[in-house]
């Protein structure tokens, strides 16, 4: 049975052709070129060189990133979906950690790791090669580690080879001054993806979506780390709005719509919105308007799981520092008169009640308390 596989790393797209678990041919494209490539024509050319054509393919396979549950999370993934739909053939998917296990055939045992750069976390699993069945056997449940945790585990595994998801750079990243790693292996993208997809086909047939244990652990681990991890504040972008809306809907009785945020980001020259992240998790956000020498807080929200940890105060203090060189003399905000917790929070930061706006809020109707912070005060 003939099939194609697709494997995407941070820098490269590998397309391979296989038959019954054997590699027939492969090609690699830099990722910045991939969206412009005619996937169907490229694949047809590969097959033609082997004396075959597209209609000879029985199915297609895709290697999914350990930290991305979506099969078609990229433009190249969508192209593969369109192709298999057109050819009316099944799509098989394997997870990248499982695919790396096939490198154990070259070293008997392998420590497979993949780095999620966005969160500074590592996905790790150990595999041993079963020479009788000619397949890799997972020795433990895949799990999530920080860099330091992984270094400690690697130091205890002197008899294993490190198999790195993005080839040598990630392996080099784990080295420290005290000692080198036991060894690392630059794995063969095309060969292992062809073998892993073929095994998946024999085991389960057409693709079925599944949610491995390490995906659940990733979310838990990231949230645990985010509570006390390094904070990164940056300007809000439209791609943040999916996570922003999850917080917005849980924070306000009259939440803004996604369109309201888009309008602010695209068309309001006086509006500035900031996001606070830790380990790739959005902790909260703050929005301000700057009009002449005064600022106005339009939005401040912290994710319910991360409240009472000082993140709201951190956002405001950072934005205050950002405002000073811009000539802002006063920062204003409105809160519901009944919101005593918010009133106490802002008073601790130096805000003082200045006025009341009658019937300012709706749903439910309520007065607003105007609070002001003078930035010129010492």
Report CA-CA distances (Å) from 262 to 240, 272, 296, 302. 11, 12, 18, 19
Which member of 189, 346, 360, 366 is catalytic?
346
The CATH 3.30.420.40 domain(s) of the chain lie at: 2-220
The C-alpha atoms of residue 201 and residue 198 are separated, in whole angstroms, by: 5
User: How do residues 238-248 score in pLDDT, each as one tens digit?
Assistant: 989 989 998 99
The CATH 3.40.630.30 domain(s) of the chain lie at: 227-374
Question: Is the confidence at residue 165, as pLDDT, over 70?
Answer: no
Question: Is the confidence at residue 320, as pLDDT, over 90?
Answer: yes
The C-alpha atoms of residue 218 and residue 40 are separated, in whole angstroms, by: 35
Q: Does domain 2-220 have CATH number 3.30.420.40?
A: yes
Q: Which CATH class is domain 227-374?
A: alpha beta
Exposed, middle or buried by CB within 10 Å (0-12, 13-18, 19+), for 61?
A: buried
Say whether 279 is catalytic: no
Quote the strand ranges of 279-351, DSSP E.
Answer: 281-291, 294-302, 330-336
From the CB of residue 343, how many other CB atoms can be counted at a distance below 10 Å? 16
Say whether 334 is catalytic: yes
Helix or strand (DSSP H, E) at 347: helix 340-348
Exposed, middle or buried by CB within 10 Å (0-12, 13-18, 19+), for 48?
A: exposed
Contact 244/236 with Cβ under 8 angstroms? Answer: yes
Question: Taking residues 101-112, what's their average pLDDT?
Answer: 71
User: How do residues 198-222 score in pLDDT, each as one tens digit?
Assistant: 888 887 665 544 344 444 555 666 6
Which member of 334, 360, 361, 366 is catalytic?
334
CA-nearest of 120, 145, 279 to 214 is 145
């Amino acid at each position: 049975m003939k099939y194609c596989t697709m494997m995407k790393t941070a820098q490269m797209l590998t397309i391979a052709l296989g038959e019954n678990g054997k590699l027939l041919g492969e090609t690699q494209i830099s990722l910045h070129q991939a969206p412009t490539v005619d996937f169907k024509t490229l694949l047809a050319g590969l097959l033609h060189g082997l004396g075959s054509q597209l209609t000879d393919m029985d199915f297609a396979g895709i290697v999914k990133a350990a930290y991305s549950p979506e099969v078609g999370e990229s433009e190249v993934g969508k192209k593969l979906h369109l192709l298999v739909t057109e050819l009316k053939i099944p799509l098989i998917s394997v997870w990248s950690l499982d695919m790396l296990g096939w490198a154990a055939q070259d070293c008997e045992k392998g420590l497979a790791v993949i780095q999620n750069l966005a969160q500074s976390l590592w996905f790790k699993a150990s595999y041993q090669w079963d020479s009788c069945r000619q397949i890799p056997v997972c020795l433990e449940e895949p799990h999530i580690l920080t860099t330091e945790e992984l270094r400690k585990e690697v130091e205890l595994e002197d008899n294993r080879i490190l198999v790195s998801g993005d080839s040598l750079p990630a392996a080099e990243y784990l080295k420290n001054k005290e000692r080198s790693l036991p060894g690392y292996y630059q794995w063969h993208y095309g060969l292992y993806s062809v073998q892993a997809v073929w095994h998946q086909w024999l085991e389960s047939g057409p693709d079925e979506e599944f949610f491995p244990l390490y995906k659940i652990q990733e979310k838990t681990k990231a949230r645990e780390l985010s509570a006390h991890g390094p904070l990164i504040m940056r300007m809000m972008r439209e791609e943040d709005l999916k996570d922003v809306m999850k917080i917005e809907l849980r924070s306000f009785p009259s939440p803004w719509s996604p369109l309201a945020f888009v309008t602010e980001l695209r068309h309001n020259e006086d509006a500035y919105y900031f996001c606070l992240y830790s380990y790739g998790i959005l902790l909260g956000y703050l929005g301000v308007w700057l009009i002449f020498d005064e600022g106005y807080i339009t939005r401040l929200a912290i994710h319910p799981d991360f409240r009472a940890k000082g993140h709201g105060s951190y956002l405001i203090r950072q934005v205050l520092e950002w405002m000073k060189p811009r000539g802002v003399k006063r920062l204003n905000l409105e809160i519901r008169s009944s919101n005593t917790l918010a009133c106490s929070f802002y008073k601790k930061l130096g805000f003082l009640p200045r006025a009341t706006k009658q019937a300012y809020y709706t749903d439910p109707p309520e007065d607003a308390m105007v609070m002001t912070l003078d930035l010129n005060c010492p």
